[in-house]
Structure 1
Amino acid sequence: MNKKIKKVNKVSAVQKALENLRKYIDESNISVLPSEDEIANALGVSRLTLRESITILEKEGLVSRIQGKGTLINSFVTKLDNRIDSGSDVEGALRRHGHEVRFSVVNLYYKTANEYEKLQMQIEESNNDEILVIEKVLYASDEPVALYIDRIPAKNLKTDCEFNKEYFEPTIFPIVEKICDLSITHDVVKIIPFSCDEELAKLFNLNVNTPLITFDVLEYTRDGAVAMYNTEYYTGKMIDFTICRNVAYRYNH
């Protein structure tokens, strides 16, 4: 191999193997992955763990396994930023384009969930419908480019938790897992049409009714419970998103 693959420290073997493989693919100027034995030995994992990792990379479109040719790297896919289908790294993309990135939590409060929020978060008890709301602005080179509104059912919070606005900067997921004692495994993203109201127009310095890129996101635990319901607003000034789809061609005769 023309570049060393970092060996895995055993935390979650598949997860760490994925992390190291993605880094290797990103930094290596190769078109085909080395053999399974060579990669498994370099990572310090079993071939079964490696195959699970490569299956995930194949689903993401990063590689293609072709009989007789090996595991090919789809180089065009490695250059895509902000992929909705595999979890976008908005902050990383902004930094790669030369921007200074920072978050600011502008609001942190409890409220009674409205009917739509109850429906999204599977809240059925009327006496247990309080939610914690975190409103956070993403800045790129001191310009506001995104607003995140994260909602957590208060019933999921551990009773001994103490936190303030700074506690939720910059990334919220490890914090939510800690204060709610759960693991987030999946999210479902819905892209919805939305135009700036007066409040958002003022925040983003846009005209009222300017279209925004808007996501409604449900974060799920492994057992299918909703851990968090988020709304994300992006101006489109410095951020766009892509989807990479594996296309299966079917011919009708």
Structure 2
Amino acid sequence: MSRHAPRIAIVGVAGRMGRTLVNAVEQEAGATLAGGIVEPGSSLVGTDIGELAGQGKLGVTAVDSLAAIVDDFDVLIDFTAPQVTLSNLAFCAEHGKRMVVGTTGMNDAELAELDGYRAKLPMVFAPNMSVGVNLTLKLLETAAKALGDEGYDIEVIEAHHRHKVDAPSGTALKMGEVVAESLGRSLDEHGVFTREGQCGPRTDKEIGFATVRAGDIVGEHTVMFATEGERIEITHKASSRMTFAKGAVRAARWVADKEIGRYDMQDVLALN
């Protein structure tokens, strides 16, 4: 495997994110597009994945299993669904591959299963691969430590397109976790995810979440620190999925020569 040009395969190349990832890998001089996976039995098997991504022929055809390209790739990028991702982790661990995982919506059991692979293969797992979002997480850590226990109410507001299936978003939860950890709190105890009817006034330590699903919003996240007399808002807005795709490709290049372990985008960007 080349240290500087890992061969990258992408799961779900027929989807919105998959097509964007194909374009991102093609734009990256330090990586090679090596494979694309579609659903088993899909009519798209054998289709050039460049055509799926609107680029024209790239000479790489879609397959419906990792086994079909096991000798052709070094790093797998997966933004699919929890059980698909866990199956792919098992395959990559068995065959000495590396993974970049952007899948969200995992429950506690699935997250625990994923974490078990930290001793089996090198992987980058992050709910958001955007460089800007991961810088925002560092800003939130600083803000929480400075403001959170000084009478500031904390609310996380996120908006995504109408097709997103999980809520709150993985990024919103990660933002809440960063704030909570900075303040010595737990989202299990202090996270508030629904407010309806006579719910009473907010408590001092709660961290609230609000979700919007509408239209074609790519992704918007705001964390609000509000007290009497002022409000501080830290916001990230994504206008294109390409920002996530470029971050994932950057992570794939980074993890290509790393030792076995579980990493995140803070590691990739040297922010830890």
Larger radius of gyration: 1
Decide: shared fold, TM above 0.5: no
TM-score normalised by L of structure 2: 0.27
Greater percentage in strand: 1
